[in-house]
Amino acid sequence: MQSWLEPAASGLIDVGNHPVHLLFSYGTLQQEHVQISTFGRPLNGRADGIIGYIVTSLKITDPEVIQISGQVNHPMIRATGNVRHRVPGTVFELTDEDLSKADAYEVEAYVRVQAPLESGGRAWVYIEREDK
């Protein structure tokens, strides 16, 4: 069985015969009220970081996302490929349904990709969409 101490290479772990996705958040999904609004409950998570990214900012225009987060400007990250660049955040355990809800919460300017965790392994993360 996979544990927090052994991050998955693929961003997918098996907990009690139930697949669990690892999702790294550096922004509003770390806020408990956003988690409750999006997933119906607070999420289980732990501090971590991803390597090779920097934080930028995105002005949100989706009124529903602004209402949930309470913010017009959301952080966004951009890949640099530089292993010295690190973004701190939280890794959450999500079900397939949760991951779909996270996808619905994020606006079109973001794309979900796999990224290397500082602790080892990989997790899903929303980054800047290059083809916007």
Sequence letter at residue 87:
V
pLDDT of residue 7: 42
Q: What is the pLDDT of residues 34-60, one digit of tens each?
A: 999 999 999 999 999 999 999 988 777
Q: What is the predicted pLDDT for the residue at 53?
A: 94
85, 51 Cβ separation under 8 angstroms: yes
89: which strand partners?
48
- CB neighbours of residue 106 within 10 Å: 19
**Which residues, given as ranges, of the chain have pLDDT below 70?**
1-18, 131-132
Residue 52: per-residue pLDDT: 93
Domain map (residue ranges) of the chain: 12-128
**Which pTM was predicted?**
0.77
Which pLDDT value is given to residue 132?
A: 52
Q: State whether CATH 3.40.50.300 applies to domain 12-128.
A: no
